């Protein structure tokens, strides 16, 4: 595989993961409103760490979900910044 193939695979992975992360935040907020079984916080943070931090972060603020939890309000932006830096380094080839 050449670099272009890997870039497309990474783009697809990140697109799908972020859409799923955003949707899962919506589902968990709905469950919270109805007192139903919840998605564990660990799962949400793993999704963010796996590359879904933009989706989790956007979901936090669109759905007003987990915005009072320090591990989300600080942790998700830190993960997002670190992933952005890693992506920048990857693109620049450093």
Q: What's the pLDDT tens digit per position in 40-55?
A: 999 999 999 999 999 9
Q: Place 25 in a pLDDT band, splitting at 50, 70 and 90.
A: very high
Tokens of 10: 């990474």
Model pTM score: 0.91
Question: Residue ranges of the domains in the chain?
Answer: 3-92
Pick the closest to residue 52 from 21, 86, 9, 90 (CA basis): 21
Q: Which residues of 10-46 are buried (b: 16+ CB within 10 A; e: fewer)?
A: eeeebeebbeebbebbeebbeeeeeeeeeeeeeebbe
Contact 44, 66 (CB under 8 A): yes
Place of tokens 């933009």: 54
């Amino acid at each position: 595989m050449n670099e272009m193939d890997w870039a497309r695979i990474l783009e697809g992975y990140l697109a799908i993961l972020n859409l799923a992360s955003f949707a899962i935040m919506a589902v968990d907020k709905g469950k919270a409103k109805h007192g139903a079984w919840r998605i564990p916080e660990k799962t949400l943070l793993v999704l963010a760490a796996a590359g879904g931090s933009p989706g989790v972060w956007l979901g936090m603020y669109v759905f007003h979900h987990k915005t009072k939890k320090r591990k989300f309000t600080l942790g998700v932006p830190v993960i997002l910044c670190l992933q952005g830096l890693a992506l920048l380094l990857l693109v620049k080839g450093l």
